[in-house]
Structure formats: structure tokens, C-alpha cells
Structure 1
Amino acid sequence: MIYLPANIDQLSRKERERFIKRGEILHAATQLFAEKGFMNTTIDDIAEKAEFGKGTIYNYFSSKEEMFSVILEEISIAYLETVVKLDNKNQSFYDFVYSLSENLFDFCVNQKYAFKIIARIRTNTSTFTSNIPKKMIENHAEIDRILIKRIDKAVKAKEIEKVDSYSLIALYRSMIFPYIYNKMFCGTEKEINVAEETKFIVNILFNGIKKK
């Protein structure tokens, strides 16, 4: 679960219990925001889904707006940490994109409700779009900075053709996120094979579909 700290095993039992309860509340809220939308979800709904009283919910969060902001921030933190980790491996550009795509597929499949919230925002179907938390914006700006650096490095190393970095990033995102969404929520497949899907979309990105 993305809402638990990495060092949770090192915390005291009381601290662990608090983080676990907080995570259960956020998990319930994430599922409801994804399924019903932000405006149609109430604190009562979240309390019922999480199986806690409203008083317990308010011990952790002052409002559903705060919960939504925390969810978006933590998703963006997880995304940024993945990009930084892969960037530090100093892989070839192809391997970097492959690993990033594989991680994104894996996240979307295993955190499908969190992914669905992001999809709502990207398609402007969430009324919360105008209140994106500042931390999320900053994290995505840092992700873009890393991606631009990797693209420029790949161009200089002649791994790829000279290309506008922002356009390539936009193309990549417009390919991978709608593709994953359609596979998960609009198709008939019950399970997504992360390895096969990663190989397919990265191959299309680098090689196209024209027969050699």
C-alpha cells in the first residue's frame, strides 16, 4: 500500500497502528473517489467504507479535501521516487524507458483506484482539478526535469534522433496512460500481463509498426 511509510517496521507499535489506520482510511477514500468521484463522496461514505466512526476519520483528516490532497501527493511521491531510482541506475535510454514503463504498468495494475483518480484528473472529469496540491505540481516538475535530462543525454549519445524533449514526454504519456486505462477498464481482459504489455508499448515507441 502506498500510504504506509517505508520504515514502518522500525516504528513503535502505537505509531505503526496509527499509520495503518490512516492508510486504511486513505485506501477507502481512494476507492470511493475513483468509483464515485470527489464531489459525490462524503465523509460518511468514507467512514462506512473504512469501517470507522466519523470521529476517528476527523482524528486523522479535517476534510475530504485534505484526504484528496494527501492521496495525490503520495501518488506523486511514489512516482518521483521511482523515476529517481531508475535515473540513478545509469541505464541506456532504452532500458530506462523500459524500466519506467514496467514500473508504471505495475503501479497502475496494483494500485488501480489511485490510477483511476489520476485518469479522472488527466481527462478533466474530476471537479478537484483546479485544486491540485502544490507538492504534486512540484514533484511532477522534478520528474519532467529528470526525463528531459535523460532525453537530452540520449540525443547526445546518438541513442535516439534529435527530438523536442517536451513533445516526446507528452507523446509517451499520451500513449502509456490511456493505453493502460483502456486495457484495465474498457476491455474484456481480466488480468494484465505487465511484462508483455511493457514489451509491446516500448517496442512501438522505439520501433513503430512499419515492417522493416
Structure 2
Amino acid sequence: MRKSAEEIKREIAYKAEQLFSKTGYAATSMEDICEVTERSKGSIYYHFKSKEELFLFVVKQHTYDWLEKWAEKEKQYHTSTEKLYGLAEYYVEDVQNPISSTIEEFLTSQVVRKDIMDEMIALTRESYSIFKKLVEEGMASGEFRQDDVNDLMYVVNGLLAGLGPLYYEMNAEEMKRIYKKAIDVLLQGMAAGS
């Protein structure tokens, strides 16, 4: 049975993600991608106009997988406070994923086309809905004080994303401890009655 164009595209992206994660964006050539996917350049360029577009597709897949996995993981928590701690731990797990450092390399080590950069920024905003929902639920349940939902959404995002570079200097257990402490401090400021 022949594979659909979408199946081929996902297969190329999956194998390319493994390669990008292993060698980095800049060190991965189209020849390397051809070799690992067992496809010709023409076949790859049929599905992706450039290495940048292939990488963007990889990042999209990673983002949507991350969101789906969080939706499943979130079900094990009962309160917004528990969800916030769980989300912090989930962030630590994701920062350990090699594709995360490859994304950082991609964004900081070269000139990225404006349309690609706009899409990358839009992908980072995909998680906003998670933070906003979590804050709204916490306010509705009385766990968090009433405040501007969007402001708190940005604070939660900034806190979790901002601690990510600790990956370069700490192991996962130490990072989990720092992320937990960060949530402790954040909850003191968000607690109802504060």
C-alpha cells in the first residue's frame, strides 16, 4: 500500500528530528537528511521547500506532541496548584529533550526568514492556552486570587520558560528542585487572600 504524501512528510520529519537532535541544526546537511531518510533531495524538496521549512515542521510536530502529552498528563492532577507543579516538572522533562537545544540554536545562531520566525513565535504561543486555562480554573476554585488572567498567564509562561537555560548548568533533579521552588514562590503571590 502506497503511503500518502502526509505520511511521507511525517516520516521524513521524524527521522530528520532525530538527526537534528543529535548533530544540531547547522551541522545537519541536506545530504545527511537524504541519507537518514533514504530519500533523494528531490523527494525531500517535494515535501519541504528548504531545510528551514523542514525544521519548522519538526518544531510544529514537537509542539503539538507536547500539548497532547500535557493534556493526558494533566488528567492525573485534581487542583490548579497540583497542575502548576506538574506543569513545572513537565517543563523540566521537555528541556532535557535534545530538540529543545536545537530549537534554541536555530533561533540564535543564524538569520531566520521573517515568515519562519513568525511561525516559530506563533508556536511558542500555543502553550498560552494551557497557562490561561490553569489560571482561570485556579481563580474559579478559589485557589488563586482574582487578578488579570492574561497578566498571570504571561508570568507563568515567563517563569517556566525563563528557567529553561538552567539545563546547561544543572542535572534534571536539581532543575526540578528549582522549578518547584519557583512555583512555591509564585503561588505565594497568587494565593487567594494574598
TM-score, length of structure 1 as denominator length: 0.64
Q: Deviation string for 1:61-106 (max 9, x for gaps)?
A: 5531331121111121022113322444462111001111111110
Structure-1 separation of matches of 2:144 and 2:72: 22
Equivalent position of 1:114 in the other structure? 100
Q: Secondary structure of 1:91's partner?
A: coil
Structure-1 separation of matches of 2:93 and 2:87: 10
Seq. identity, %: 16
Question: What stretches of structure 1 of length at least 5 have no aligned partner?
Answer: 1-11
Question: What stretches of structure 2 of length at least 5 have no aligned partner?
Answer: 190-194
Structure-2 separation of matches of 1:83 and 1:105: 13
RMSD: 3.8
Equivalent position of 1:32 in the other structure? 24
1:24 CA displacement: 3.0
Asked whether the 8 Å contact 2:24–2:102 carries over to 1, the reply is no
Structure-1 separation of matches of 2:24 and 2:123: 26
Superposition map of 1:57-72 within 5 A: 61-72=48-59
Q: Secondary structure of 2:24's partner?
A: helix
Superposition map of 1:52-201 within 5 A: 55=41, 61-89=48-76, 91-109=78-96, 111-118=97-104, 121=107, 127-128=112-113, 130-131=115-116, 137=122, 140-141=125-126, 143-181=127-165, 183-185=166-168, 187=169, 189=170, 191-193=171-173, 194-201=175-182
Q: In the comparison of the two structures, how many residue pairs are matched?
A: 182
Equivalent position of 2:192 in the other structure? none
1:132 CA displacement: 5.0
Runs of 4+ in 1 over 3 A off after TM superposition: 18-22, 44-48, 50-62, 86-90, 118-121, 123-126, 132-141
Asked whether the 8 Å contact 1:154–1:160 carries over to 2, the reply is yes
1:26 CA displacement: 2.4
Asked whether the 8 Å contact 2:13–2:58 carries over to 1, the reply is no
Asked whether the 8 Å contact 1:105–1:180 carries over to 2, the reply is yes
Q: Deviation string for 1:140-183 (max 9, x for gaps)?
A: 44x433432321221122201112222212112222223121x1
Q: Secondary structure of 1:151's partner?
A: helix
